[in-house]
Every structure is written in structure tokens, then in C-alpha cells.
């Protein structure tokens, strides 16, 4: 799930690029573990900074247009380039495993149930 350019521009300018982990919720759905990439994705030679969320869950359908709420709880590693797509995929799998391990710790697990993830009923957010 990629955030819009407008959302990316609203992130703090001093946040380090790299791979983070935390919790994500689509709409008023369940809260899931996630890995987040902030940066330019050097392997793909992006010219614009992006914020891409990988929710560690298999959804039955697309959720385009839904509200995506995230809480970043930790940092895994800096952004880097890779020699091959296979090396990138391997690093992503390692990041996912590290995120799962970290998010099982009590200090991170408690944030899964935070009221931040509950959108007020009937409230319109971003025209939705």
C-alpha cells in the first residue's frame, strides 16, 4: 500500500530513510503487522521519495480508496541498493521476519490495540 505524494510530503522531513516496522489498519478493519519503506528505492531508481507499506496479511480483495492508518514502532535498517531483484526479495523477507519478531515483544504488541486505529463511526475522513 503506497501513500500518496501529499501524505509522503507531510512526513517529518528529518525522518531517516530506511525500513521500519509497526502496525497497520485498513479502514476500521483488523490491525496487522507491517513493514514500511521510506525513501527513494534505489533499486528502482525512483526520483520521488515514497512511503510504501507492506501489511503482513493476505487480504481477500483490494482496498484502494480506503483509509490506511499506521503506527511506526521501530527501525530495521537503512535504505540500500541491491545487485539483483533476488537480493532485494531476500532482504524484504528478512525485514518481514525481523518485524514479526519485534512486534511480538510486549512493548510493541500493546500498540496493536490503541484507540488510534478506531475511526469514529460516521465520520468523513478525506472525503470518504
pLDDT recorded at residue 43:
76
Highest mean pLDDT among 32-36, 49-53, 117-121 belongs to 32-36
Instruction: Specify the pTM.
Output: 0.86
Asked whether residue 127 is domain-assigned, the answer is: no
Is residue 78 a part of any domain in this protein?
A: yes
Give residue-wise pLDDT tens across range 5-31.
899 999 888 899 999 999 999 988 899
> Is 125 a domain residue?
no
Residue range of the domain that includes 67: 5-117
- 90-94 average pLDDT score: 96
Give the CATH number for residue 111. 2.40.30.30
Q: pLDDT category, 122, cuts 50, 70, 90?
A: low
Number of compact structural domains in the chain: 1
Flag whether 41 is in a domain.
Answer: yes
Whole-number pLDDT of residue 127: 44
Catalytic residue (one of 9, 52, 86, 121):
52
Q: 52 an active-site residue?
A: yes
Going by C-alpha positions, the residue among 20, 100, 87 that lies closest to residue 56 is 100
| pLDDT score of 66 | 87
In a domain, 126, yes or no: no
Amino acid at each position: 500500500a503506497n501513500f500518496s505524494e501529499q501524505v509522503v510530503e507531510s512526513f517529518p522531513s528529518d525522518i531517516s530513510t530506511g525500513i521500519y516496522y509497526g502496525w497497520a489498519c485498513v479502514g476500521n478493519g483488523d490491525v496487522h503487522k507491517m513493514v514500511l519503506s521510506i525513501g527513494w528505492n534505489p533499486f528502482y531508481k525512483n526520483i520521488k521519495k515514497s512511503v510504501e507499506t507492506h501489511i503482513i496479511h493476505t487480504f481477500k480483495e483490494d482496498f484502494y480508496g480506503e483509509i490506511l492508518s499506521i503506527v511506526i514502532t521501530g527501525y530495521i535498517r537503512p535504505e540500500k541498493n541491491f545487485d539483483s531483484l533476488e537480493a532485494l526479495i531476500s532482504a524484504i523477507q528478512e525485514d518481514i521476519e525481523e518485524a514479526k519478531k519485534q512486534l511480538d515483544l510486549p512493548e510493541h504488541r500493546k500498540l496493536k490495540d490503541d484507540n488510534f486505529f478506531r475511526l469514529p463511526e460516521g465520520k468523513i475522513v478525506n472525503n470518504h
